[in-house]
Amino acid sequence: MISIAIEKETGEQTLLEVPVDMGLNLMEVLKAYEYDILATCGGMALCATCHIEVLEGSEKIPPVSDAELDILDTMPATSERSRLACQLRPDEGMDGLVIRLGTFDEN
Partner 1 sequence: MITTDICIIGAGPVGLFAVFEAGLLKMRCHLVDALPEVGGQLTEIYPKKPIYDIPGAPGILAEDLIRNLLVQIEDFRPTYSLGERVEAIQKQPDNSMIVRTNEDTQIHCQVVVLAAGLGSFEPRKPAVSNLEYFEGKGVNYMVKSPELFRAQKVVLAGGGDSALDWAIYLSEIAERVTLIHRNETFRGAPDSAAKVMELAHSGKIDLFLQTQVKGLGGNGRLNSVEVVDQNKKHFQIPADSFIPLFGLSPKLGPIANWGLGIDKSAVLVNTLDYSTTEARIYAIGDINTYPGKLKLILCGFHEAAIMMQSAFKFVYPEQKLSFKYTTVNGINTF
CA atoms within 13 A on the CB side of 91: 7
DSSP 8-class letter at 17: E
* Piece of 8-16, 19-27, 70-78, 92-100 that binds partner 1 (CB under 8 A): 70-78
Q: Which one of the spans 11-19, 52-60, 66-74, 85-93 is the region binding partner 1 (CB under 8 A)?
A: 66-74
Give every CB contact of residue 34 below 8 A, 6+ residues apart in sequence: none
Please tell me the count of residues contacting partner 1 according to CB under 8 A: 18
CB neighbours of 94 closer than 8 A, spacing ≥ 6?
2, 4, 18, 20, 57, 60, 61, 88
* Per-residue contact string for residues 18-47; x = within reach of partner 1 by CB under 8 A: --------------------x-xx--x-xx
Binding site residues, partner 1, CB under 8 A:
38, 40-41, 44, 46-49, 69-70, 73-78, 105, 107
